[in-house]
Amino acid sequence: GQQLNQSPQSMFIQEGEDVSMNCTSSSIFNTWLWYKQDPGEGPVLLIALYKAGELTSNGRLTAQFGITRKDSFLNISASIPSDVGIYFCAGLSLVGNQFYFGTGTSLTVIP
Amino acid sequence: DGGITQSPKYLFRKEGQNVTLSCEQNLNHDAMYWYRQDPGQGLRLIYYSQIVNDFQKGDIAEGYSVSREKKESFPLTVTSAQKNPTAFYLCASSIGRTGQGKQFFGSGTQLSVL
């Protein structure tokens, strides 16, 4: 099965800094989702993207659907301690109609 | 509250034993999914179901079985044939048939081998 390339694998930042992470795929996707997961819990949906080039915000989070439809980006502005967790991207493949997930970006925010 | 409920939260399996993980949703979603999560890895699809009485194998279905007798329920059985069952198991659902909507997740079941 396909897994998406997500980077960076981990990030350690100071509170108040901005964060950027991205996902890339060798295949074209028509939907990108971004999730946050706390330890021992299920992922929580943050942002959904449905069109190439689409830019969508949810509070301090902004995500973009790449023009090539093979990548997506998530930015977090002015990070706070509760942003700590693992962020996953998920892409919907046109073949087989399944979601595929990135390997996650672990975010640590230092107060 | 509407949502997806997984139980139990923690489960222990003895050698040669089958165990069943429960997943119930009251969101009236058509599609349901089971994923396995190992440390440092993304989610891998075990089985999915688009409608009642129908389900399809995902990428890692060997050693697992499912049923979909009711729209709101999609239990997963980890059989004795699954030699490395220790993992975090996540159930998800989406509003339409596979791929037509956002996926929402339950809070997971941690399965460990005694």
Torsion of CA A43, A109, A78, A31, to 10 degrees: -30
> Whole-angstrom Cα distance, residue A81 to residue A44?
17
Answer yes or no: are the C-beta atoms of B8 and B91 closer than 8 Å.
Answer: no
pLDDT grade for A96, boundaries at 50, 70 and 90: low
Contact of B77 with B85, CB cutoff 8 Å: no
| A32 interface with B at CB cutoff 8 Å | no
Q: Which of B10, B2, B24 is nearest to B92 (CA)?
A: B24
User: Can you tell me the mean pLDDT for A79-93?
Assistant: 93
Residue A108: its H or E element: strand A105-110
A49: closest CA of chain B, how far (Å): 10
Task: Classify each residue of A65-78 as buried b or exposed e, where b means 16 or more C-beta atoms within 10 Å of its C-beta.
Answer: bbeebbbbbbbbee
pLDDT digits (tens, 9 = 90+) for B79-92: 998 989 999 999 99
Contacts of B110 in chain A (CB under 8 A): 40
- Decide if A45 and B102 are in contact by the 8 Å CB cutoff: yes
Place of tokens 């080039």: A53
Q: Does A48 touch chain B (CB under 8 A)?
A: yes
**B39-57 mean pLDDT:** 91
Reply yes or no on whether the pLDDT at B98 is more than 70.
no
A contacts of B103 (beta carbons < 8 Å)? 33, 45, 90, 99
> For A98, which residue in chain B has the nearest alpha carbon?
B99
pLDDT of residue B97: 63
pLDDT above 70 as % of chain B = 93
C-alpha distance from A61 to closest chain B C-alpha (Å): 18
Q: Count CB pairs under 8 A between chains A and B.
A: 64
DSSP state for residue B16 in the 8-state scheme: T
- pLDDT tens digits along A21-58: 999 998 889 899 999 999 899 999 999 999 999 999 99
pLDDT, one tens digit per residue, over B7-39 is 999 999 888 899 999 999 999 999 999 999 998
State which residue of chain A sits closest to B31, comparing Cα positions: A98
- Least-confidence region, from A107-111, B29-33, B100-104: B100-104
Q: What was the pLDDT predicted at B46?
A: 96
Average pLDDT over residues B29-52: 91
CA distances from A49 to A18, B90, B91 (A): 21, 22, 22
Is the Cβ–Cβ distance between B27 and B33 less than 8 Å? no
| Contact in structure between B89 and B63 (CB atoms under 8 Å) | no
With 90 as the cut, is the pLDDT of residue A98 above it? no
Contact A98, A68 (CB under 8 A): no
Contact B40 A104 (CB under 8 A): yes
Most distant CA atoms of chain B, gap in Å: 39
Best of A10, A32, A35, A97 to substitute, by most chain B Cβ atoms within 10 angstroms, is: A97
Which residues are CB-neighbours of B39 under 8 A, at least 6 positions away?
none
Q: Give pLDDT, residue A1.
A: 60
